[in-house]
Structure 1
Amino acid sequence: MTSLSNDHSILIDIQKSTFNRILAVIYLVIWIATILANPLTGGNSKQFMLLGAVVIVICGVTFGLSHRHFRLAVYILIWGLWGCVAAATQNLSQPVVYYFFATVVLFATSLMRLWSQVVLALASTAFILLFAPSEITFGAALFLWISLITSYVVSHGLLQTLDITHHYQSYAVEQMKKARDQRGEIARMAAALKLSQENQHRLNIQLRYALNSAEEARRLKAQFAANVSHELRTPINLIVGFSEVMATAPEAYGGPPPPAYRPDIQAIYRNATHLQSLISDILDISQIEAAQLAIVKEETDPHQVIDEAIRIAQGLIQGKKLELRLDVPSQLPAVCLDRTRVRQVMLTLLTNAVRFSDKGRITLRARVDEREITVSIQDTGMGIPKEQLDRVFEEFYQVESNLSRKRGGTGLGLALSRQFITQHGGRMWAESEGIPGKGSTFYFTLPLTESTLFTAHPSPYQPVDENQARQVIIWENDPAIVQMFRGYITQHTVHAAQSLRDVHTLLKSTHPLAVICDTYADVTALQQQVASVSPEITLITCPMPSGRQAARMMGLVDCLVKPVTRQQIFAALQGIEQPIQRVMIAAGERDMLRMYSRFFQTAPENYTVGTALTGMDALAMMRTDPPDVILLDFSLPDMDGFTMLEYLKSTPVLDKIPVIVVSDGSTTNTILPLVKGEIVLRKAGGFQPMELVRCIEAISGQLIPPSVLKS
């Protein structure tokens, strides 16, 4: 985007327009002055008429010359007018004519450069000093320079204003071009989807809709991601659940599977688990802004991540009869990374290398220096043109789209991969000569250390090092809440404690910056433990947005979100104090019922399991034979889960039976508003003034404004 001051052509256009207006003003003034010649000239009308004719001739000549040699025309006009004013001072007995030099200077400020204006002003001043009567010399010279300075200041301010206007106009034009490009792309997509059945009115609606604000576009994308993810929860839960039972508890099927089946079952379970983690990523996309996915870092051996990615991609590589070469040092330092995200990056690069290579080899290398680990994946495929190397990381962009469609792919993998690596503090780029057979190489780096600025407050207690100061402890037994804190607290390491004893152990070993717990926890006991270690440690109590806590407030044992595992169900059962023998499972899908039944078959206790496909069948069976616990899947066909809970509470025989709820996530969001409370910050040693102000400022900056204010 060019600046107006740097765009010579625009300045010339402005000066040409000003030039023509000055000529028009001069013509008008000359004709008016001609009519009033006698009173103005004091009897020297002939000389005045001659000077007026000269001025008109100069104006006519410069007007014709301005179309081909504008600068020359400007200099002829300005110096010609200057000469006419000088001649008028000598031929007309009017001292006031000397003040007309200021008018010429004013014209010059609109048409000439600054140095030319100064030369003109100096020449005018010299002429005034030499020839003007003494009584007006100072006034005329002063008026001339005041006019020059004032005109320069005004014109300079005007140019700055025009510069800003030009900047925003260029920006608006650029945005209009982008909008037009997006509109055209959506038009092509609509035509492909609707074929010839879409009429022009429908197309215009689609185009107008596509021009909504970026915030609306993000909302729709998030809603789409959430809907798709919720639809995938049940099938992926079935795949993971059954494959987990087959892989880890084959006795539920009467005995171990044949040896030839075991590697395949393990592969199904491993890949299904990976797919389940990717679905969780899609849910994260639907819940956050700025396209920043939550990452959970932990100390990890890079060899493990590389091996996992290769095992998953091994089938693709062997299917195309490609050679896989590894050039990885035997010793790699542990890296603080999100195992799932980095593995996904490697899988994306390996899959792309396989997809665009018909023969040859794929080489995976790893190198270590003092600051980072660099991983590269090289193929011998078609390569990427150099001018497209940067664009391959754009969302939905594909190199040679026709070929990309044949080979598969959505154009999102590389964009998400670069985002993951950037969140780890690394870099990602590609190199290629664009020659088929030489392929391309994709690189990414992972930093070995993370630098964080930490400011210590004066304290009589022994200071802690920087790594310790970046620790926080969360006392919470809901894994979803711990995962949320670990994913979104990026500047501190989060340690989880499930009991007061765990908190005490972590306080001794980590000396954290803060301890976080639920409002409903034993705050008094926790406060005593924290104060015994150091009064400088802050205790934060707040209502945890836990589906489990909300479920307990509703009288439920737990609220599990799909996909659920048998470990989660067994953990929920352990929270029930009374003995359990009979279990009732109510779910709206036969496959889910079979999976839940398989889970209970693998339990260490022997349970008697009853199943029902509808809520009414389950109620009828439970009235006859009340169970010890109910596993209620909210996917009932004849009633929603909340209605089922109301039936249970209103039935005297069933109202005391513990209930474990399984839902697709929407149920948890519905009952979360039941969890209410206060956020309280405590520190035995007290807060320093600026520390308190910054805490309040940080919290206030993240609060959502109230939607309705009471008058």
Structure 2
Amino acid sequence: MAILTFLQGVMNWFIPAHLSGDLHTRKRVQMFIISHIFGPIIATPIPLFLWFADPQPLWHVPILAASIYGFWPFLALVKLFPRAYTPLAMASVLNLTFCIMWGTYNYGGTSSPFLVWLVLVPLLAFMYLGSTWTARVFVFSQITLGIVALYGFYLYGDFPTHIPVENMVVAGVLSALGSNIYVFMMAAYYSSVVDSQSELIKEIDRHQYTLKALTQAKDEAERANGAKSEFLAKMSHELRTPLNAVLGYSEILLEDAELDGRGEQIADLQKISAAGKHLLAMVNDILDISKIEAGKMALHLENVDLDKLIDDVEATARPLAAKNTNSFSVEKRSELGTVRADATKLRQAIFNLLSNAAKFTQNGQITLAASRNAEWLEIAVIDSGIGISREQQNALFSNFTQANSRIAAVYGGTGLGLSLSQNLCRLMGGQIEIESELGKGSRFTIRLPAPSEQSAAGQAAPIARAAVQDEAFLAESEAEADQRKAGFAAMSGHMPDHERRPRLLVVDDDRAFLELAERLFMKEDYTPICTDAPQSALQIARTVKPAAIFLDILMPGFDGWDVLAALKADPVTSDIPVFMISILSERAKALAAGADGIVMKPFDASKVKAALAGLKAVRGQPRAKAANA
């Protein structure tokens, strides 16, 4: 044991510091050091035998001995020139090849017993250098050249006969024994290293690769996002200006053509105008999505008369629905009143849903249904169109995504409308939910927080006070839940109708995780509001004022620590409990940064219950008390 400890200490002393961090490289350097320490000792009997067996050993035996013992100076060279390890390892392999070829040439030629040592050349080369293409070419080329040289001497010259081949039996035995001892020693050491470190190496390599990939992805995402933002900022004016000119002049020419009765030109100008409007709408959508992703989309809150808003949308959507000979109707269960919201963005989201319904429905029925309870505003667009399968719904709200390629080819579109509408609704603290069956139509429902007029009347303009009051925030009546059940279902299933549901905000860039979290929180009697856009978390929190926030740490660009700092720095959201979500145990760091706790991934029901135990214990109390619980 003491010998092994001493040997390990010697090897550690020779290993350069900059190579010790990489376990793969460290292992190769260890093999280099141990082979250079014991290699000359194992080969010593061969020059000793030749010295006494050869009548005239000068100078070929001393040259062979110098080559054998020349491996020891390589240890000092590696220590003195640590950054030259690779060329030193290649030089060592060349020295080994020369040693074998020199002994073979002087003692036996192509029948030399020393040729058995040639097997060590690729073995040691790959141990020192790794199995790279450079190492492969290097090893193959030098072995090939050596063998070709020997064969050339065999064909066109004579090998020296210092010792007859029949008298080389002892040399052959020594060569076979020495090479086998050498291979045995290296293989045994290599096997012990692999057995003791393989699992650790795999785990460390996996984490290092993941960390490196995440770092690279984060850097690339930041660079790409910066380049995209810069490009869009520069191009928005350049794109919109000529498009506005195209649309303006096409309208003028269209009016002139209609007055002059030029029928052929009217059709062409109408196509130009329609194409220009489509392109302008697409540019606007792309710019809006980019603003949301960059966290630069601002809400312009005002008191919106919902009944007037629905009437305006109806006036715009009715001729749109009539293009495919669809019937259009509006259903309002009662007067909707006013709500604090961004009228332009809400109207845009509703109109996008109606536009899709009109496009994918022919000779059918389109209904715009609106209702409101004490907490939620729900606006649904119901159609009897082609419908959407469950599999197609999963990616429906992604950028540039449509249900399938056939639909895109037949109906056109860019796949931006639903994504933009979902992002706008999430920015306002809500979301769009879908119910659909292939061939039987679809129902898209916009659900936005809408406090009652009485509770909203005493609140000021800031967005924090536009949220629901504490008591109403933590409880909802059975009648209101029954009203919601009558026509509006959540994306991942109907929400229980008899429960009181405080809201939770979940922020994670993994959509699969958001779906899981949504189901788990719903089972625990909470209403989850999920977003995969961390840049929008602060705005949503200010709008919704959730009972708690669950925040993933590792997110590209704007990570969880950045979001946590923004939440705690804002007086409106600073008292909201925040639980960090992570695959690593960073509780101390999370608490020091202002979080109330940390929930480890993978997420399951037991961890959800543990995190929410304090919140459930104080349900119904004012928010400030809940936050301190």
TM tier relative to shorter chain: 0.3 to 0.5
Scaled by the length of structure 1, the TM-score of the pair is 0.32
Scaled by the length of structure 2, the TM-score of the pair is 0.35
